[in-house]
Amino acid sequence: MSDIPALAEEFRQAYAAGEHPDAAAFLARVPEDQRDELGRLIRAVLADEPPPDPAPETLLMVQAMRRGEPPLLELRTARGMTRDQVVSDLREELGLEPADEQRVAVYYHELETGQLPLAGIRDRVFEAVATVMGVARSSLLLQGPQGGGAGAPQAVYARAEPGTEVNLDALAALPGEPGAVDDLFTGGPG
């Protein structure tokens, strides 16, 4: 049997420390018949505790969004990283082969400029981007084109036309195994 009060306290401490704990992950740690009780305690924490200050990188990305600029591009440039450096690190973090780097570069460009539907990106990619950028995943603010899938909260950058698709012609001409890379960036959550 799970210790619901201890889990709720762990959530409260993480939230108070500004860690942005994932309530769903906490709920997944208890049997289904105890999730309502833990959920009630987590809601109480969220109602009672003052919200933590946002991370500086989150503020940076919000400011970029307000100016109509891509937040991921703003974060990368603020970190002093080149796109090539990020792509190389991202490929390594995802465990892909060197031959896949150009394919990753096309997808990363589409992601960074808000043209890649977010609903198709696997969780591993979001985790890897956060790791490469040196931020918590919960600090990442990303945008994609409108129409990225049913129920997908999407927005459009000033630089991207609604409904813009990934440049499939550029991807088809690239070396590397299309299946693994394409699946990571278009295969959906998981």
What is the tens place of the pLDDT at every residue in 65-75?
899 899 999 99
Question: What was the pLDDT predicted at 16?
Answer: 85
Tell whether 152 and 88 lie within a shared domain. Answer: yes
Q: Quick check: 164 and 83 in contact, CB under 8 A?
A: no
Q: Is the dihedral of CA 123, 127, 128, 129 positive or negative?
A: positive
- Give the pair of three-digit tokens for residue 118: 């977010």
Residue 144 CB coordination number (10 Å): 26
pLDDT at 79: 95
Specify whether 88 is located in the same domain as 178.
yes
Q: What is each CA distance from 100 to 54, 170, 180, in whole angstroms? A: 35, 13, 9
Q: Are residues 64 and 117 in the same domain?
A: yes
The string of pLDDT tens digits covering residues 151-181 is 333 333 323 333 334 454 555 555 554 588 8
The pLDDT of residue 142? 82
41/62 same-domain check: no
Same domain flag for 142 and 182:
yes
Shared-domain flag, residues 82 and 28? no
Q: Are residues 37 and 113 in the same domain?
A: no
Same domain, 34 and 113: no
pTM for the predicted model, two decimal places: 0.65
What pLDDT does 140 receive? 82
Residue 17: predicted pLDDT: 82
CA distances from 94 to 47, 67, 71, 74, 138 (A): 37, 31, 22, 22, 19
**116-120: average pLDDT:** 88
Whether the per-residue pLDDT at 146 is higher than 80: the answer is no
> Into how many domains does the chain fold?
2
For residues 66 and 114, membership in a common domain is answered with yes
Q: Which residue has the tokens 């309502």?
A: 36
Q: Which residues contact 39 (CB under 8 A, 6 or more apart)?
A: 23, 27
**How far apart are alpha carbons 77 and 140 in whole angstroms?**
14
What average pLDDT does this structure show over 137-143? Answer: 80
Same domain, 20 and 109: no
Residue 39 has pLDDT above 80, yes or no: yes
The yes-or-no verdict on residue 136 having pLDDT over 80 is yes
Same domain, 113 and 67: yes
d(CA 135, CA 121): 18
pLDDT of residue 2: 67
Contacts of the segment 31-35: beta carbons below 8 A, 24+ positions apart: 31/2, 34/1, 34/2, 34/4
What is the residue range of 165's domain?
A: 56-186
The answer on 97 and 27 residing in a single domain is no
> What's the DSSP call for residue 49?
S
